[in-house]
Structure 1
Amino acid sequence: MFSCNVKKVISTQEMIFLESFKQYLVKTADDLGGMSLIPLFQYFVKRGLAPVKQVLHTLHTLLHIPRLSTSRLFSNMADLLGCLAQGKGGLRSGPAGNPLWRSALVELKKGHQKEAVQQMLGVCEDWISSEQPENLIRAARHYERASQIVISQQVETADVHVSPMWVSPELRHVVSVGVWVEAHSPARLDLAGGWTDTPPICYEQGGAVLNIAIKVNKKKPIGARARFIPELQVVCVLRDCSGGDVRLTWSELDHLRDYDNPVSPGALVKAVLLYSRLVDLSHPDSLASQLKEKYGGGVEVEVWSNLPQGSGLGGSSLLAGTLLAALVVLLGHPPPAPSHLVHATLCVEQWLTTGGGWQDQVGGLIGGAKLGVSHRGTPLSVTTYQIPLSSSCLEALNSQLLLIYTGKVRLARNLLQTVIRNWYACDHTVTKCFSELRLLALQAAGTMLNSNLQGLGSCISNYWRLKKMVASGCEPGMVTKLMASLEDHCHGMSLAGAGGGGYLYALKASQQCLEGVTCDCVEVDQQGLEVWVGGENVLERSLVEETLTQTKLNTLIQECE
């Protein structure tokens, strides 16, 4: 009679399966995408700590070599630890500043990836041995922080497109003390493709976004100005449309060092000042000494936005780009080209650690209707195509666009982190949405080329459907009711930006006013960013050289499909 040791057979099969999975990890290490590993992580967790540690060591070994997929592998590590915690230990989103991990993260920022990973493995194994779910979740947060650092490094490859913005000292124009350099920017409406501009999606899959620059209530709502002052310090005024201005004075380099903490007062201004090379934090000289040596005085900046917080109209990114434009001119460089500002603002937001994408600056700093496109790979590069609007199409947009403030502040805290986590977990619903969003932007651009507003409205509504799938819960109940009341009168509608609150925009089916609807005045801004020096306009219209044609659009659609 045939007999066998069942336990031994099962054990052998499980060993073979584990080895096969480790080989799969090695084989697919450089892939961007693929199947979700979480079900397999959960399987090995049920089999005990030994197979989990083998998977952990395999992932760490793969992380010794820098790859385009490095941030995904760090995220995989976080997922593995999250599975090991088995629903205990608290939330994945949270602080990642434990002293035991600090050295490793510093090494990673310096580009010493292998050394960083080896240090992380040591701390991780100690925390796993503690058998405390809280430590597993805390470790997962630090691996996610490592993933964010690598994403930031990939995004900063866009800096190669910024270098022409800086000219040598002998070519710079001197701006006298007390003369204001002022810049104004419109807001932006994202009509299709949003989220695909977000790192790492924008360089792992590729992104495409259709948007328009808009005036709100007849004005460009974003502004900044800067001037030299006799005092050897930096003065920052955060202007508030309600009159509650905040004045900050920075007289030491240490006052600027928290530029990477988004909630510190004036953090965005600090990040822009440092990115524009006003002063150098690593220089041994004091702030006052650097200002005296380079400019013979200090600098005063003022920034403002007439948009409500969480508007969804791109306010913070546009504020960074607008201030950067003013500072570039103040420091003697020529008015920056749109491409320079688009890529520079991407880098500034990485310094600020807010991790934004590129669609806001494409949408607002550049006038009119545009299709922004980024392709897979690094260095990260964004190409913007101007979409020519016929006079009838422009008139129809200006008379049929509806902009309604919902009164609900959009709370996007941890939203971006959750979306990226789902992207790296290869959640099929999310990855499919990103593919559809990218293609939809190209299709919507085609409707604008053909002045087909009904088709554009349909794309906008489809866009909102996809945004809700990417970020569940982004349509509050009161917004659902508002949209239902508008549905019969509009070609399409969406919440601006990531959703959750802020502005709702709609494309009406006719030019007739809708009774009982309170809305802001909105119109397409054809000029984009404008810059003045002492009241003289030095940048009247910010446009791009490439114009979208049907032939070019067809090529982009073929590449996307």
Structure 2
Amino acid sequence: MIFNTQNIRVRARAPLRLGIAGGGTDLSPYCDKFGGAVLNVTIDRHAFAFLRPRTDGRVSFEALDVGVEDLCGTDEVLDRPSPLVLHMGVYRRFVRDYLGGKPFAVSVASTVDAPAGSGLGASSALVVALVEAFRAYLDLPLGSYDIAHLAWDIERNDLGLAGGRQDQYSAAFGGVNFIEFLSGDRTVVNPLRLRAGVCEEIESSLAICFTGQSRASHDIIVQQRAAISGGPSVAIDAMHQLKLDAIDMKSAMLRGDVVEMATILDRSWAAKKQTASGVSNPLIDGLYDLALANGALAGKVSGAGGGGFMMFMVPPERRRQLIVALEARGGQADVVALTHTGVVSWVAPT
């Protein structure tokens, strides 16, 4: 492939997400055996990727938000490890699949609007942003499904990172989505069209809180996968409940019934804790109890569990009280806005 990148600087942005219901049912082998269903929403936190050409024959990867940089020559970039495995993994995949295995000089940088281990799908959103940046840089004809699947394949197969499938599709499509994960690697994204006022009511009823602990999702996911592979178990029954809850949550959300959404959220949190040890801990339980005492209707951890962000549903008139109480306990609480655009890229002005 011949491409002209002289003085072209490409930027890409992909949204992070809140998993509202069904999280965990997008894990293999559960979704391969039984089919999974997830309902999630994207929020006003993003992962960014920045690409620009280099003229010195070198390749640089940089995570600007954490101050990590890796610089090497094109003659070694395909054979050496990198501390920035996501950047390197996306670069190598595009070189392999679209450039005939011939490395090229480029600077690849990123930032993310959330700490590592947030539970907001930040790592996968970053991979989606990187994939879209390379797609635009090389002018490749890839659609939203292509970008999401490629990002998932890079993470799970090329890099061997444990996790599910919802984050890549959420970041690629954006918005409020009911996503079905079927056997044979099939995924169907169903955007939900909410009637006027419903999105605003849901948004005004949400609060998030960073626990201050980055979650160690790998061990939780390994436990969940082992329980699923081992045949009938409490964990599998809990996964079945989570999938049913995603279907019920879809109906409640379309009706704009926030109280029913909170009821389902509470039920799902109880089920999620049955899928693996470590999903909750005393810190999370303490913040949850505090939230209920200060107006929250229900809550859960976002992502696999063990730390990261928690999300709560609360009557809008009591949301400020909840945030103040969580912050007084040491949590980092905030509001979120729902977003309706998936990954995008653009060429920066020269």
Same fold per TM (> 0.5)? yes
The equivalent of 2:63 in structure 1 is: 238
* Deviation (angstroms), 1:392: 0.9
Q: Structure 2 matches for 1:397-436, cutoff 5 A? A: 397-436=202-241
The equivalent of 2:6 in structure 1 is: 177
The 3 A distance-change label for structure 1 pair 302 and 194 is same
The 3 A distance-change label for structure 1 pair 521 and 204 is same
CA deviations 1:128-182 (Å, max 9, x no partner) are xxxxxxxxxxxxxxxxxxxxxxxxxxxxxxxxxxxxxxxxx5xx8x553232111
Matched, 1:503 2:309: yes
- SS at 1:432 equivalent: helix
The equivalent of 1:447 in structure 2 is: 252
Q: d(CA) in 2 for partners of 1:175 and 1:501?
A: 44
CA root-mean-square deviation: 2.2
- Given that 2:162 and 2:222 are in contact with CA atoms closer than 8 Å, whether structure 1 keeps it comes out as no
Q: d(CA) in 2 for partners of 1:370 and 1:348?
A: 23
The equivalent of 2:37 in structure 1 is: 208
- Given that 2:290 and 2:326 are in contact with CA atoms closer than 8 Å, whether structure 1 keeps it comes out as no
Instruction: Give the alignment's TM-score, normalised by structure 2.
Output: 0.90
* Deviation (angstroms), 1:528: 2.3
Match for residue 154 of structure 2 among 340, 343, 348: 348
The 3 A distance-change label for structure 1 pair 442 and 223 is same
* Deviation (angstroms), 1:468: 0.6
* Deviation (angstroms), 1:258: 5.4
> Matched residues, percent identical?
25
The equivalent of 2:283 in structure 1 is: 478
The equivalent of 2:326 in structure 1 is: 517
CA deviations 1:74-99 (Å, max 9, x no partner) are xxxxxxxxxxxxxxxxxxxxxxxxxx
The 3 A distance-change label for structure 1 pair 503 and 482 is same
Q: Structure 2 matches for 1:189-268, cutoff 5 A? A: 189-215=18-44, 220-240=45-65, 244-252=66-74, 254-257=76-79, 264-268=82-86
- SS at 2:40 equivalent: strand
The equivalent of 2:105 in structure 1 is: 298
Q: Structure 2 matches for 1:256-335, cutoff 5 A? A: 256-257=78-79, 264-277=82-95, 290-291=102-103, 298-334=105-141
Runs of 4+ in structure 1 off by over 6 angstroms are: 279-282
Larger Rg: 1
- Given that 2:29 and 2:229 are in contact with CA atoms closer than 8 Å, whether structure 1 keeps it comes out as no
- Greater RCO structure (CA 8 Å; 6+ sep): 2
The 3 A distance-change label for structure 1 pair 249 and 257 is same
Q: Structure 2 matches for 1:143-162, cutoff 5 A? A: none
- Given that 1:310 and 1:409 are in contact with CA atoms closer than 8 Å, whether structure 2 keeps it comes out as yes
The 3 A distance-change label for structure 1 pair 304 and 278 is farther
Structure 2 unaligned runs (5+)? 328-332
The 3 A distance-change label for structure 1 pair 250 and 280 is farther
Q: d(CA) in 2 for partners of 1:352 and 1:317?
A: 12
Instruction: Give the alignment's TM-score, normalised by structure 1.
Output: 0.57
More strand by share: 2
More helix by share: 1
* Deviation (angstroms), 1:268: 1.1
Q: d(CA) in 2 for partners of 1:444 and 1:314?
A: 20
Give the paired residue count. Answer: 340
Q: Which moved more, 1:248-257 or 1:520-529?
A: 248-257
